[in-house]
Amino acid sequence: MDPVRTGQFISLLRKERGLTQKELADRIGVTDKAVSKWECGRGFPDVDVLESLAGELGTSVTELMSGEPSTPETIREQSDGALIETLLYVRRMSRKTIGTLVLTAGAILLTMPLYYAGNFLPMLIVGIILTIGGVFMLASKRSVKSLKLPKRACELISLGALAAALVLETLPKGVVLWWGTPSGEPSCSFHSWFDPLPYGVAMFPPFIAALLTVAVTVFSIIVMIVGERAAKPKNALFVCIIVTAAISLCPVLYGFQSVTVTGVFISFCLSVSALFRAVANSRPRT
């Protein structure tokens, strides 16, 4: 189902019947701008107007969807093809709609700390997760291929995001630990992700994630050096980055009061690294 081909077919049939876009629009209950949009290939008629549109143009819905007239030899092939294309089109639109909604929700949550004076960390974490999820849903194979960044650039961005995560993990305020006091008032202390001593008491995942970040960074450099001979290793690298990003989110399980802004951005950097590694894996070297 090609919107451009269907639009050209609608324009041809309309002109054969001597109708203007306004006259056709009035007959089927839409605006002339909608008809113009269809004929320019920038959209497709809604399902509820397909039948009336086909009737006014003296054609069938199948012919409209295929963008060409049917013959006895091609009618079955066109019907099957149009049905398959319709199902694929609906699936793509559903994915794009859900992805857009998820991405919008994530963007709204990311801006909420600018207007909300309370505890913004839960909103920030959920916002980052929704934003990344929305990007993954919208990043179809076609859109990934349309990116102008070459394979090497995607690999460098992925490696740069890993390096940024490593720098953040060395900062002394990567994790906040809460301790009880004799007075009953809890006190907190801040630690680097590479500080293994406190995590035996509270949470060990940050230290594991820090070690994994070092490992995947070295792994990434090796894969870039080996190049196309690393078909299986580069897929394993993507999985390792995903695992590292997942482990970096484990402090959330201990309560949002155990999460710092530094920790949130570490998870964000690891997710960006995984995204660009996936893009790099999907294309040949140029």
CA 213, CA 245: separation in Å to the nearest integer? Answer: 9
| Range list of β-strands (E), 87-222 | 175-179, 187-191
Q: Which two tokens stand for residue 164?
A: 């940024």
Q: Judge contact between 86 and 45, C-beta under 8 A.
A: no
Q: How far is CA 106 from CA 115, 176, 180, in A?
A: 15, 25, 35
* 141, pLDDT greater than 80: no
The percentage of the chain sitting over the pLDDT mark of 90, rounded to a whole number, equals 8
Between 58 and 71, the more confident residue is 58
Only one residue has tokens 């290793």, namely 233
Q: Judge contact between 137 and 102, C-beta under 8 A.
A: yes
Q: Tell me the residue type at 267.
A: S
Most confident segment among 18-22, 45-49, 76-80, 222-226: 18-22
Task: Tell me what pLDDT residue 218 has.
Answer: 93
* 98, pLDDT greater than 80: no
* 213, pLDDT greater than 90: yes
| Range list of β-strands (E), the chain | 175-179, 187-191
The domain limits of the chain are: 3-70, 149-281
The pairing of strands 187-191 and 175-179 is antiparallel
CA 220, CA 169: separation in Å to the nearest integer? Answer: 18
Q: Confirm whether pTM is higher than 0.75.
A: no
Which pLDDT tens digit goes with each residue over 154-191? Answer: 889 999 999 999 999 888 877 777 666 666 666 777 78
Task: Tell me what pLDDT residue 204 has.
Answer: 79
CA dihedral for 22, 29, 37, 71, sign (positive or negative): negative
CATH number of 3-70: 1.10.260.40
CA angle 260, 157, 97 (to 5 degrees): 75
Any bridge partners for residue 188, and if so which?
178
Which pLDDT tens digit goes with each residue over 21-66? Answer: 999 988 888 888 888 988 888 877 877 787 888 888 888 777 777 7
